[in-house]
Chains A and B, each alone.
Chain A
């Protein structure tokens, strides 16, 4: 299995631009998570999906952030417009349907820099 695949690995953009991060979860996993990692805040859960349906988006910082999961094999996290404080590493993770006891499988992350 190729694991969770994220693209791009690095993204540098200017303030005000739209940014789209992509994720392909492990085949057969029913849960998908988006996390953000910064030095100041550590790992923050932004949103998670179960069977392609958003379950909890309470961690999404503001309306500039949106996430979609059009099918079981693809998800996007979009920031529009981007701001310098959005600079962070964004991780996608997936897990099996057993949910609460299943380990998360993380992708290698997208390092976003907004100038």
Chain B
């Protein structure tokens, strides 16, 4: 079975500053990795995904993530955040062999301040 750890429950950051949201996973098989974003009172939306190929993945809204197999990490980054990026971010993993059963992390609340 796979698992996901998001070490930071909250990350405060000033507008236009860079941010990194950390995600580590555990799995005995190959995985697919995802980042989702949840705005207040809404469902989750896909930010980006890693399936195979280049380890640097670019997503919507200027976010990117890097898959690091040796460190079993998939950290999310943005070079300059905006107030509108304030939301909760979830890392998720599914194994390559099974059905579409995602395991989500506990989420990181990103709060962008002026």
Contact = CB atoms under 8 A, between A and B. Distances in A.
A and B held together in a complex: yes
Interface of A: 4, 31, 33, 42-43, 45, 48, 50, 55-56, 91, 93, 95, 99-104, 106-109
B98 A100 contact: yes
B53 interface: no
- B43, B46, B104, B107: which has the most chain A beta carbons within 10 Å? B43
A103 B42 contact: no
Given A56-B99, A103-B49, A93 B104 contact: no
Contacts of A33: 100
Contact of B100 (A31, A43, A109): A31
Contact of B41 (A101, A103, A104, A108): A108
A56 B94 CA distance: 15
8 contacts: A33-B100, A42-B106, A56-B99, A91-B44, A93-B43, A101-B51, A103-B46, A103-B49
B34 interface: yes
B45 interface: yes
